[in-house]
Amino acid sequence: MATAFGYPPVNVKEEDDHYEIRLYAAGYEKKDFKVTLEDNILLVAVDKDDQGENREGRRRRMDFQPGSFKRHFELNEKIDKESISAKYENGVLLL
């Protein structure tokens, strides 16, 4: 669910031996996410087309709709790029 700024909110936490990125992205499926690494930039992107949405019935209110977004994270030299992993669970993408 993209916010008014066009991307979902994120929390970044530094632990003693790693960083955690938690990206709040409810309404998606694991297969929707594309996570790539180029140089020192970690990119999380979703290219979501709502053309397949069920348009039957009368909608009275629609406060959210998962859409496309991109989030970039610049990695520092302390990051072991080979150990980056991702898990999507309960609407949160954990990197």
pLDDT tens digit sequence for 26-81? 889 999 999 999 989 999 999 876 555 555 677 777 666 778 899 999 998 888 89
Residue 52's SS3 state is: helix
Provide the phi-psi class of 24: left if phi over 0, else alpha when psi is between -120 and 50, else beta. beta
**What confidence tens digit (pLDDT) does each residue in 70-94 have?**
999 999 888 889 999 999 999 999 9
Residue 92's SS3 state is: strand
Q: What pLDDT, on the 0 to 100 scale, is given for residue 23? A: 96
Number of H helices, E strands in the chain: 0, 7
Contacts of 19 (CB under 8 A, 6+ apart): 12, 13, 79
Place of tokens 């140089």: 39
- pTM (2 d.p.): 0.78
Single out the residue of 13, 23, 32 nearest to residue 92, CA to CA: 23
Residue 5 C-alpha from the chain's centroid:
14
